[in-house]
Amino acid sequence: MKDTKRNYYNQQVADVLKTLNSSQDGLSESQVQESLEKHGKNQLEAKKNTNLLQKFIAQFKNLMIIVLLAAALVSVFVGEGVDAIIILLVVVLNAIFGVFQEARAEQAIDALKELSAPQAHVKRNGKVETIKSEDVVPGDIVLLEAGDIIPADLRLIESAGLKMEESALTGESVPVEKTTAVLTDEKLPIGDQTNMAFMNSNVTYGRGSGVVVETGMHTQVGEIADMINNAEENTTPLQANLNQLSKVLTGLILVVAVIVFIVGMVRGEETVINMLLTAISLAVAAIPEGLPAIVTITLALGTQRMAKRHAIIRKLPAVETLGGTEIIASDKTGTLTQNKMTVEKVFVNNKLHDARDLQIKDYPYNHLFELMVLNNDTKQTEDGLIGDPTETALIQFNLDKHEDVDKLVQSEERVAEVPFDSERKLMSTYNKLADGRYLQTVKGAPDELLQRTTLFESGKEIKSMDEKERKLILDTNHELATQAIRVLGFAYQIVDEIPDTLKSEVVEQDLIFAGLIGMIDPERPEVAQAVEEAKQAGIRPLMITGDHRDTASAIAKRLGIIKEGQDDAVISGSELDTMDDKTFAKKVKQYSVYARVAPEHKVRIVNAWQKQGKVVAMTGDGVNDAPSLKQADIGIAMGITGTEVSKGASDMILADDNFSTIVVAVEEGRKVFANIQKAIQYLLSANLGEVLTLFVMTMMGWQILAPVHILWINLVTDTLPAIALGLEPSEKDVMKQKPRGRQSNFLSGGVASNVIYQGLLEGIITLGVYALAILHPVHASSALAHADALTMAFATLGLIQLFHAFNSKSIHGSIFSATTLKNKFFNWAIVLSFILLAVTIVVPGLNDIFHVTHLDLYQWAIVVGASVSIVVIVEIVKWFQRRAHR
């Protein structure tokens, strides 16, 4: 779309009007109707959304969900209807939750629509009309004044001190001064197209007019909407891991079940129905029915903890994705900075001061602070200060110093002014003094102001401006500019009467220099520490901003994103345009700061890092951030300053707009991943133990555990203990470790080998108990001996998993630590699970239902001793593992 656009900023106004078949008087009614038919309404389009039923059905396309449904079918087949109902309930709840999250995500374009101006003032047939913004067409002449929202993209025709706030679109924190002059550069980023006005921007100062050049989806905001519509839905690392795990498990289940069925039939000792039931038992043993539910519950608990710490999760998988984050590409304005211009430096009496330390009362003979208030158009209301951010910063500084601003404005009333314009970069006012004279106040660019000053103020004295003084002021101005500080100069003179001709060349001469004020959109005080913590955690922070290169570089150095001398780590949007994707991919690791970027640049940056295999988080608050927020592995929007568009496209919202909350969220994400990993190790090793037990029993021709035994063990041991593992506290140094990255999965980091050897241990120990009971029976009767052996195998297989749950509290750490018993929910889960397992054996009647016998103390001692042995063996293996990793 963009390549076919005309560069209207390169053209004279007359040529633009001619191209659009318009004039200074606007379009005729017939032209308006013709344009409406050709271009359509001035509206943003959203891609066609699926209905609720389609969303609901789509939730069942996940392979693990299919495995769960198979488990439910198996449960029904073996007569365990309650278990089937529980599984189906979990599946349906997951589907409902997924539908809810997907519907929330589709609000992004709707929010963009709501941002549009409801009305526009246009000139048609030479008359001014107020129309709905959706009826604006290319060629319309739009009239602008302070407070207006731009209804479409315009080429400006007239600008009288016109300033526009475009931070939501460009990322630049300071309102842009607009002009009507032709811009000669062929390729300019949006923020530098000063003779253009863009849809949804706000007029903060002055007045003007422009001709509509683009409407609807052809505007800059329309392009953003199009990028949101076409952004690919990325599979999160969590979803990829679970899908991979599901495929592996499904394949293993089918292979093992088929082998057992075939072997049993070849032996000819069992009927077809018995062997089918045996194969089903193996399937039940192999399927971790509770895994999706446990993952969901662990993620949900993680979201609750994060919400208490001001991180609001919109999509559950984002919790785990955060833990794998390797790149945080952060928008500057409103995210790393406060999006509020603030006075930081004051140059008065030939000295530079920190604004925080300066007290106005210490300078009774200086006019600087009075000029800051009088040469100012800020309005004070119940809702706060309204006006240009630069001017509101000056008033806020005086208010913070307990100055009576209203009293000063009222006592020295403004009676005349020479408005600001972008050519001379100055503004003058005349304020009436109590003695009948007039105070002329002048503010503006220091270099322009110094050309008009002949004197300077130094305490009680007024001295002649010499070259030494002029150099000191210019050097101070340069020093502050290199620190990304915006500098305003102030001067004045007292006159007996107001000149008849209020022109700059007449009145702005022979001024008295009063001082300099340095302002900046300051970094959030906690961000530098958060950046350092992110680096320690192996995460690389990037700054992406619409601000100029020097400003971006200075802020990045103050935050620690780059160091002094790393200027080659900064790149501008125009430089990025000169690189093709292949070249950029080779150089992407070089850059940490991106200045003067457009929305498509942000998406390109995210894509480049993702192609490097990195897990990318993108933070932002503006409309321009929405496409990249959606493209990133995890999009993070600001809750306070963020637009509804950015929130709708995000996975997570920072309720306090605090960058350091991201670091907190990453820590929580790492904990969630680790806890899910612990649960998976526990579940898979337990299920492998069950499969091995059943497989060997079948191969040996022994009386095997029935489906009801496996289902009960799974119900008792796979739910509460596994969920409790999801509540484990963070292990020490979790934020000192490198990110696990996109290539890792739940079976990495030694988990796969642990699952195998621990599962084999469980199976071997259980089979050993069964063999011991057969070889040394308590009862002489062969039938009773086999019944006791089966009961002891059943008890051992269940109890060994409960003891193994303690092993799973840490992948490599010892259970003999101070934190082992801190998780009270885990402790109670083990106790309850043990009771549920034991009652099937010791309670009369229940043991008949489960086809088990009562065990005496000797038999219980064997069961408990064998079950405890897994703790001893695993602890020894962990000790060797820790020594090997030193």
Active site residues: 331
Do residues 200 and 169 make contact, with C-beta atoms less than 8 angstroms apart?
yes
Query: CA 191 to CA 573: how far, in whole Å?
Result: 11
Label residue 848 exposed, middle or buried (CB < 10 Å: 0-12, 13-18, 19+): exposed
Q: Give residue for tokens 């002449």.
A: 141
> Residue 669: which of 327, 316, 331 has the closest Cα?
316
Query: CA 332 to CA 593: how far, in whole Å?
Result: 10
Query: CA 40 to CA 571: how far, in whole Å?
Result: 39
Q: Give residue for tokens 């935050």.
A: 559
In sequence order, the 6+-apart residues with CB closer than 8 A to the CB of 358 are 346, 348, 401
Helix axes 751-775, 782-807, angle to 10 degrees: 160
Radius of gyration of the chain (CA): 36
DSSP string, 143-186: EEETTPBP-SEEEEEEEEEEEEE-HHHH--SSPEE---SPP--S
User: First-to-last CA distance in the chain?
Assistant: 56
DSSP string, 681-723: HHHHHHHHHHHHHHHHHHHHTPPPPPHHHHHHHHHHHSSHHHH
Q: Which amino acid is at 557?
A: K
List Cα–Cα distances, 241 to 317, 321, 746, 747, 837, in angstroms: 11, 11, 7, 9, 32
Query: CA 263 to CA 259: how far, in whole Å?
Result: 6
What are the tokens at 742? Answer: 């996109």
List Cα–Cα distances, 345 to 114, 341, 418, 557, 559, in angstroms: 39, 12, 27, 18, 18
Query: CA 567 to CA 479: how far, in whole Å?
Result: 17
Q: Give residue for tokens 């509509």.
A: 212
List Cα–Cα distances, 50 to 47, 66, 586, 631, in angstroms: 9, 22, 39, 20
Phi first, then psi, for residue 207 (nearest 5°) are -145, 170
Query: CA 532 to CA 306: how far, in whole Å?
Result: 21
Do residues 222 and 43 make contact, with C-beta atoms less than 8 angstroms apart?
no
Torsion angle defined by CA atoms of residues 386, 389, 393 and 395, in that order, rounded to the nearest 10 degrees: -30
Query: CA 727 to CA 717: how far, in whole Å?
Result: 16
Query: CA 830 to CA 761: how far, in whole Å?
Result: 20
Phi first, then psi, for residue 661 (nearest 5°) are -65, -30
Query: CA 859 to CA 196: how far, in whole Å?
Result: 87
> Residue 832: which of 743, 717, 677, 666 has the closest Cα?
717
Phi first, then psi, for residue 316 (nearest 5°) are -50, -45
> Residue 668: which of 353, 128, 194, 308 has the closest Cα?
308
Q: How many C-alpha atoms does 521 have within 13 Å on its Cβ side? A: 22
DSSP string, 399-438: HHTT--HHHHHHHT-EEEEEEEETTTTEEEEEEE-TTS-E
